[in-house]
Amino acid sequence: MSEAQPDTLVQAFQSVRQRSLHLAEPLSAEDCCAQSMPDASPVKWHLAHTTWFFETFILKPREEGFTPFHPAFRVLFNSYYNGVGAKHPRPQRGLLTRPSLDEVRAYRAQVDGRIRRLLECGADPALAALVELGLQHEQQHQELMLTDVKHLLAQNPLYPAYEADPLGHAAPAPASDWIPFEGGLAEIGFGGRGFCFDNELPRHRTYVAPFALASRLVTNAEYLAFIEAGGYRDPALWLSEGWDRVCAGELQHPLYWLGQEGGWGEFTLHGVQALDPQRPVTHVSLYEADAYARWRGARLPTEAEWEFAARQACLAGGALHPAGASGEGLIQMFGACWQWTSSSYAPYPGYAPAPGAIGEYNGKFMVNQYVLRGSSCATPDGHARPSYRNFFPAGARWQFTGIRLAR
Ligand SMILES: [Fe+2]
C-alpha cells in the first residue's frame, strides 16, 4: 500500500512525529496527564502510545538485540492489542502520573532515533508499509489529542482556551441546495495508489439508487431552529435509544453549547465563544443528527451515497474549529466536520484483516458502531480521502461530528 521512497519516508516520519509534540506545546504537564472520561485519553498517553506502536510493531521484530526502552511500557501503553498481551485499563490512563511527561518525551526521542537508523539501512517494502501505518496511526491520534483535550478543558469551570486567539465570525453560509446524483452501479472502496486502511478494502461494486445530498453541512442557526421548535421534546423524531437519553437529560443540545445570558455560547478550543450561527453545528450524536434529519423531512446519507458523491469534492482542513461554508456545488465534504451516515460499520464483501496482532487495528471493532465520512477541522492535512471510514458508537459526541442531509 506504500510507495514512499526511503528519503521521503524518513522526512514524513520526522514531520509527523514532530507534529505530535507541537500539538502538546500549548499544554502544561498537568493538562497532559488528566483524563476526563473513559473514552478520552490523556495527551501524555497519546504521545507514549504512538511511540509504543513503532517500538512494538517495528523495533521489536526487526531490530537486532532489541531491548525495550522500559519493560513496563509494553503493558502501560498497549491500547487494545490482545495479541501483544496485557493492557493497562483504559479508564485508568489518567492515573499514570508516572512516567512523567519528560520521560515520555525521552521515550519518543529514543525510539525515533532507532527507527531512523533502521530506515537509513534501507527500507524494504514491508518495513516501509509498517512505518506508513505507524504514521497514519499517529495522525489519527493527533486528531484525538485535540478532541480529548477539548473535552478535558471543557470540564474546567474556567473554560481554558487551547488557542488564545479568538475564533471570529464566519461569513454568511450560502443557501443549502439539493445536489442530485443519478446513482447506478458504483465502485466503492479504495482504488489506485497510496495508503489506505484495511477497512477501505476490497473495492467492490454496489448499487446506489438515485439520491440527492445537501450542498453543505447543517449550520448552528438551522440546528437552533430545531431546538426552538421543540425538537428535543417530540418523541416521534427520535430513535428509541436517543429518546431514552433525551428523557434522562443527557441530550438537550449539542455538546459544548452553553446557555448563557444574552444567548447561546459554545466552548471551543479557542475558549468560550458566542454561538456562531453561520458555522456548522458540531459535536452531535447520531441520535441528534438522525432526529434533525427527520424533522427536516430528510435522512442521513448511506456511506455508499456519500462516497459516490465525494469523488467530486475537494479536500481542506487544518483549523481548530469548523469553518463556515463557502464556494459552490458540494462543499464542506472534508475539513469541517465528520458526517454521520446511516451505515453500520461492517466489513466490505471479502474483507480480510492482516494476520497477527496488527490485524486487530480495525476489523474487531465492526460491531455496534456507525460510519462517519469526510474529515474534520482537526484531521491532519493529507490524512483524509473519499474512501476513508471513520466509526463511532451512536452516542459519541466529543469528536467534531456534524450533519449532512440526504433524500
Ligand atoms: Fe492507537
The H-assigned helical ranges of 87-239 are 101-120, 125-154, 220-228
Q: Could you tell me the distance, in angstroms and rounded to a whole number, from the CA of residue 156 to the centre of ligand 1?
A: 26
Q: What is the pLDDT of residues 344-374, one digit of tens each?
A: 999 999 999 988 888 998 999 999 999 999 9
Please list the ranges in the chain whose pLDDT falls under 50: 1-4
pLDDT at res. 1:
40
Cell numbers given for 354? 492482516
- Global model pTM greater than 0.75: yes
CA distance 282 to 299: 17
The yes/no answer on whether domain 178-402 falls in CATH 3.40.190.10 is no
Closest alpha carbon to 15 in 384, 376, 381, 388: 381
Q: Could you tell me the distance, in angstroms and rounded to a whole number, from the CA of residue 204 to the centre of ligand 1?
A: 28
CA distance 190 to 196: 7
Cell numbers given for 68? 525495550
CA distance 407 to 399: 25
Q: Could you tell me the distance, in angstroms and rounded to a whole number, from the CA of residue 225 to the centre of ligand 1?
A: 38
Q: Could you tell me the distance, in angstroms and rounded to a whole number, from the CA of residue 330 to the centre of ligand 1?
A: 32
CA distance 4 to 226: 48
Report the half-sphere exposure of 19 (CA within 13 A, side-chain side).
20
Q: Could you tell me the distance, in angstroms and rounded to a whole number, from the CA of residue 144 to the centre of ligand 1?
A: 10
Q: Could you tell me the distance, in angstroms and rounded to a whole number, from the CA of residue 141 to the centre of ligand 1?
A: 7
Q: Could you tell me the distance, in angstroms and rounded to a whole number, from the CA of residue 138 to the centre of ligand 1?
A: 7
Q: Could you tell me the distance, in angstroms and rounded to a whole number, from the CA of residue 139 to the centre of ligand 1?
A: 10
Q: Could you tell me the distance, in angstroms and rounded to a whole number, from the CA of residue 242 to the centre of ligand 1?
A: 29
Q: Could you tell me the distance, in angstroms and rounded to a whole number, from the CA of residue 142 to the centre of ligand 1?
A: 10
Q: Could you tell me the distance, in angstroms and rounded to a whole number, from the CA of residue 78 to the centre of ligand 1?
A: 8
Q: Could you tell me the distance, in angstroms and rounded to a whole number, from the CA of residue 206 to the centre of ligand 1?
A: 31
Q: Could you tell me the distance, in angstroms and rounded to a whole number, from the CA of residue 140 to the centre of ligand 1?
A: 8
Q: Could you tell me the distance, in angstroms and rounded to a whole number, from the CA of residue 59 to the centre of ligand 1?
A: 17
CA distance 28 to 151: 16
Q: Could you tell me the distance, in angstroms and rounded to a whole number, from the CA of residue 133 to the centre of ligand 1?
A: 11
Q: Could you tell me the distance, in angstroms and rounded to a whole number, from the CA of residue 83 to the centre of ligand 1?
A: 14
Q: Could you tell me the distance, in angstroms and rounded to a whole number, from the CA of residue 276 to the centre of ligand 1?
A: 33
